[in-house]
């Protein structure tokens, strides 16, 4: 990989891969439940993503990553189309999963994964920078069971048939009040055992997402944060 010397004396490594991270965020009504730090789960998720982007911003590998965002409850919204890492763009995007969602919306994970599949395939079929590898990691965050678990499993299997797409799943739990069926489903949706975890706060979520993104791009977590 070649290097570029910037006028300020810093060194930036040129791109070796374009790794798209598609954030798929559960915006159902249960995301209003409390989380550590006197915030809702939704706000804990938003805070963890902002901190994650700040950490990416100081990494010399940040130019290898792109991001997109999909939110869901009964319906699905693409709130950020795939974009190369740019802190200003990301900081001007609302990553609160509940923003614009229904008061008591449900958890139709299958619909969100269908949208993520379409986005991932479009990214891979029309690569922004031909000549370097392009990969996609779908980062699914939920705090509950899908209303259509069988459909969710079916679409996840279709996604994983493409070896350039992986799925990482985080279940945002509450100590003493977790949903084992939801956890089991997300484990099956994930690409492998290392791509599933249960988190209880925003810091753990951020750490999992960073580790998953770096591993999918063939890097170590220390390359990012």
What are the pLDDT tens digits along the chain (225 aa)?
333 333 444 444 578 999 999 999 999 999 999 999 999 999 999 999 999 999 999 999 999 999 999 999 999 999 999 999 999 999 999 999 999 888 889 999 999 999 999 999 999 999 999 899 999 999 999 999 999 999 999 999 999 999 999 999 999 999 999 999 999 999 999 999 999 999 999 999 999 999 999 999 999 988 886
| Residue 213 resides in a domain | yes
Helix (H) or strand (E) holding 13: strand 11-13
| Residue 146 resides in a domain | yes
3-state secondary structure of 27: coil
**Whole-angstrom Cα distance, residue 50 to residue 39?**
15
Domain limits for position 63: 17-217
- DSSP 8-state code for residue 126: S
| Residue 51 resides in a domain | yes
Q: What is the number of other CB atoms lying within 10 angstroms of the CB of residue 28?
A: 25
SS3 content of the chain, % helix, strand, coil (to 5): 40, 25, 35
Q: How many independent structural domains does the chain possess?
A: 1
| Residue 2 resides in a domain | no
Give pLDDT, residue 223: 87
| Residue 11 resides in a domain | no
**Whole-angstrom Cα distance, residue 189 to residue 169?**
7
Give pLDDT, residue 13: 53
CATH of the domain at 35: 3.40.50.410
| Residue 12 resides in a domain | no
3-state secondary structure of 9: coil
3-state secondary structure of 135: strand
Residue keyed to tokens 């998953």: 212
Predicted model pTM? 0.93
Bridge partners, 136 (sequence order): 20, 165
| Residue 222 resides in a domain | no
| Residue 162 resides in a domain | yes
């Amino acid at each position: 990989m070649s290097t570029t010397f910037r006028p300020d004396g810093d060194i930036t490594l040129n791109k070796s891969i374009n790794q798209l991270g598609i954030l798929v965020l559960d915006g159902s009504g249960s995301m209003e439940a409390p989380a550590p730090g006197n915030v809702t789960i939704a706000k804990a998720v938003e805070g963890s993503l902002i901190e994650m982007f700040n950490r990416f911003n100081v990494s010399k590998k940040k130019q290898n990553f792109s991001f997109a965002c999909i939110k869901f409850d009964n319906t699905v919204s693409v709130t950020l189309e795939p974009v190369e890492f740019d802190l200003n763009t990301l900081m001007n995007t609302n990553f609160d999963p509940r923003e614009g969602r229904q008061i008591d919306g449900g958890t139709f994970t299958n619909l969100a994964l269908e949208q993520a599949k379409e986005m991932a395939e479009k990214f891979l079929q029309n690569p922004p920078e031909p000549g370097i590898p392009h990969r996609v990691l779908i980062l699914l965050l939920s705090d509950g069971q899908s209303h259509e678990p069988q459909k969710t499993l079916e679409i996840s299997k279709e996604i994983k048939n493409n070896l350039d797409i992986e799925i990482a799943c985080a279940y945002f739990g509450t100590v003493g009040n977790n949903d084992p069926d939801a956890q089991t489903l997300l484990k099956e949706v994930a690409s492998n055992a290392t791509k599933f975890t249960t988190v209880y706060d925003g810091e753990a979520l951020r750490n999992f997402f960073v580790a998953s993104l770096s591993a999918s791009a063939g890097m170590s977590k220390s390359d990012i944060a």
